């Protein structure tokens, strides 16, 4: 007796969208014949390969740009440090110029006063010389007078008596004045020598020696007058052309170009200082290089951000396709089975 009778024959059909992706002639359960038999899966596989290639390329670009940015940041910091040191030197040279100006002012006054002192001492020496010449003349007249009196053998002119007392006293005082010459004249000569040495040691604008001349030469070396003209337009054009070439090469973002590690761009700079340093050609080249490298670093940072976003987007698409394609339900050999009994 038939107790239960089940009709278990049933045809399982793929959903229309899935069925469209399967080969109509493919018999379920047969192995693949060279392709998956699923045009959607093959399209995903093709997209996966393209996205994977784009992702790897984008990742290489990000790595390259990051290395390039780090290299330029280090180079920019070198320019920045050197520029700050030059700024410090320029400030010190300005202070030196101020001190030189003060010293020159004082040496000028001292030189002028010393010159006037020397003239005064020379004039005093002439006056003293004339004074002692007059004293010598008086001494000569006195000696002549005494000799004349003694030659008369007059009892009225006995030494130590009468008028001779006054004549002899005058002679003693005259001798005392003459003795002062031996003390005064060496002092005058020493004063004249000292004044001459000071005048020569300090000097003035009319001399080519002395402290004043040395300070004046230092003032010329430090260019305290500020007459040095700075930048040569030709050098500016060369720097700008070099910067433009470097900028165009950077924008190409050639990931295959190798950058030497630890090397910096040779721009032909030589540390030839001309004062004032802040107005010199060398200082302005350093300043331009720092500004250019800073701008290029900022541009590289913007490119890194943009390229990183592109890489992250590609990574997300790649992860999504990987997750979908690794799902067993997506396998065409399983998903496209159309009959099950």
6's tokens: 């089940």
**Helix/strand/coil (H, E, C) string of 291-308?**
HHHHHHHHHHHHHHHHHH
Query: Residue 338 falls within a domain, yes or no?
Result: no
Segment holding 132, helix H or strand E:
helix 39-152
Tens-place pLDDT, residues 311-338: 999 999 988 888 877 776 765 655 555 4
Phi-psi region of 7 (alpha: psi -120 to 50; beta: other; left: phi over 0): beta
Query: Residue 30 falls within a domain, yes or no?
Result: no
Q: Cα separation of 11 and 260, whole Å?
A: 69
Query: Residue 26 falls within a domain, yes or no?
Result: no
What is the structure's pLDDT at 328?
66
Contact 230, 284 (CB under 8 A): yes
Tens-place pLDDT, residues 236-275: 545 555 545 444 444 444 444 454 444 455 555 666 677 7
246's tokens: 């470097």
Query: Residue 251 falls within a domain, yes or no?
Result: yes
187's tokens: 């002092």
Query: Residue 21 falls within a domain, yes or no?
Result: no
Q: Burial of 314 by CB count in 10 Å (0-12 exposed, 13-18 middle, 19+ buried)? A: buried
Tens-place pLDDT, residues 164-200: 888 889 999 999 999 999 888 889 889 888 888 888 8
Share of the chain above pLDDT 90, in %: 27
Q: Cα separation of 309 and 61, whole Å?
A: 12
DSSP 43-98: HHHHHHHHHHHHHHHHHHHHHHHHHHHHHHHHHHHHHHHHHHHHHHHHHHHHHHHH
Phi, psi dihedral angles at 288 (to 5 degrees): -65, -40
Report residue 162's pLDDT band, with 50, 70 and 90 as the boundaries.
confident
Q: Which residue reads 């392709």 in tokens?
A: 35
Q: Please state the pTM of the whole predicted model.
A: 0.53
Let me know how long the chain is: 341
* Residue numbers of the domain that contains 165: 39-330
Q: Cα separation of 42 and 39, whole Å?
A: 5
276's tokens: 């004032």
Name the domain count of the chain. 1
DSSP letter for 32, please.
Answer: P
Q: Cα separation of 135 and 211, whole Å?
A: 42
Rounded-to-10 torsion of CA 160, 164, 166, 171: -90
Tens-place pLDDT, residues 121-142: 889 989 998 999 999 999 999 9
Q: Cα separation of 78 and 76, whole Å?
A: 5
Query: Residue 16 falls within a domain, yes or no?
Result: no
- 3-state SS assignment for residue 197: helix
Tens-place pLDDT, residues 33-52: 445 556 677 777 888 889 99
Query: Residue 225 falls within a domain, yes or no?
Result: yes
């Amino acid at each position: 007796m038939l107790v239960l009778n089940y009709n278990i024959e049933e045809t399982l059909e793929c959903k229309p969208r899935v069925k469209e992706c399967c080969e109509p002639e493919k018999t379920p359960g047969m192995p693949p014949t060279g392709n998956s038999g699923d045009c959607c899966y093959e399209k995903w596989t093709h997209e996966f390969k393209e996205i994977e290639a784009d992702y790897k390329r984008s990742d290489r670009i990000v790595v390259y740009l990051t290395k390039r940015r780090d290299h330029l940041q280090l180079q920019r910091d070198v320019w920045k440090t050197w520029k700050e040191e030059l700024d410090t030197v320029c400030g010190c040279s300005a202070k030196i110029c101020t001190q030189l100006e003060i010293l020159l002012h004082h040496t000028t006054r001292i030189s002028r006063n010393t010159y006037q002192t020397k003239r005064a001492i020379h004039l005093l020496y002439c006056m003293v010389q004339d004074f002692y010449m007059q004293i010598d003349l008086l001494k000569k007249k006195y000696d002549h007078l005494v000799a004349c009196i003694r030659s008369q053998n007059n009892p009225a002119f006995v030494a130590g008596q009468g008028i001779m007392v006054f004549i002899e006293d005058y002679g003693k005082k005259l001798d005392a004045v003459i003795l002062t010459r031996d003390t005064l004249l060496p002092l005058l000569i020493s004063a004249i020598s000292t004044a001459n040495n000071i005048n020569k040691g300090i000097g003035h604008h009319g001399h080519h020696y002395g402290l004043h001349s040395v300070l004046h030469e230092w003032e010329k070396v430090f260019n305290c007058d500020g007459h040095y003209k700075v930048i040569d337009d030709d050098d500016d054009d060369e720097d700008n052309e070099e910067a433009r070439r470097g900028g165009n090469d950077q924008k190409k973002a050639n990931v295959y170009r190798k950058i030497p590690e630890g090397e910096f761009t040779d721009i032909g700079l030589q540390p030839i200082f001309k004062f004032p340093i802040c107005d010199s050609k060398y200082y302005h080249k350093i300043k331009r290089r720092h500004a250019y490298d800073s701008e290029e670093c900022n541009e590289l940072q913007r490119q890194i951000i943009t390229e990183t976003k592109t890489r992250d987007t590609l990574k997300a698409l790649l992860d999504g396709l990987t997750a979908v394609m690794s799902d067993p339900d997506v396998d065409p050999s399983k998903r496209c089975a159309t009959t099950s009994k």
